[in-house]
Amino acid sequence: MGALHVAHARGLSVPGELAVVGFDGIEVRQYANPPLTTVVPDKRQIAERALQCLADRIYSPVSNVAHLDIVTPHHLEVRASSGRRTG
């Protein structure tokens, strides 16, 4: 949202001169001007995995959970800020 604001303040056309894509899926993305394309992570899954890592660390302190690659579900919500629209 900040990038959209700065682009507007500098007279840049989004998405004409600059494509903007966010990450987090905040609710106000759809009300941005132009509406913000964003990667929407599965926040519940992130929280569940984080709690599981914490529990693993507490109950098995010698485990090396700090070096795990954890991938959680996510999806791309295409809106006007990236210059592409979906039907």
Q: What is the pLDDT of residues 3-55, one digit of tens each?
A: 999 999 999 999 999 999 999 988 887 788 899 999 999 999 999 999 998 89
Segment 62-83 mean pLDDT = 83
Of residues 37, 39, 43, the one with CA closest to residue 18: 37
Look up residue 34 and give its two tokens. 């132009």
Range of the domain at 63: 2-82
Residue 65 counted as domain residue: yes
- pTM, full prediction: 0.74
Residue 87 counted as domain residue: no
Residue 29 counted as domain residue: yes
Residue 59 counted as domain residue: yes
Comparing 65 with 59, the larger pLDDT belongs to 59
Q: What's CA 44's distance to the chain center, in Å?
A: 14
Give the total number of structural domains in the chain.
Answer: 1
Q: 74 with 40: CB under 8 angstroms?
A: yes
Q: Where do the DSSP E strands lie in 1-86?
A: 21-23, 37-41, 74-77
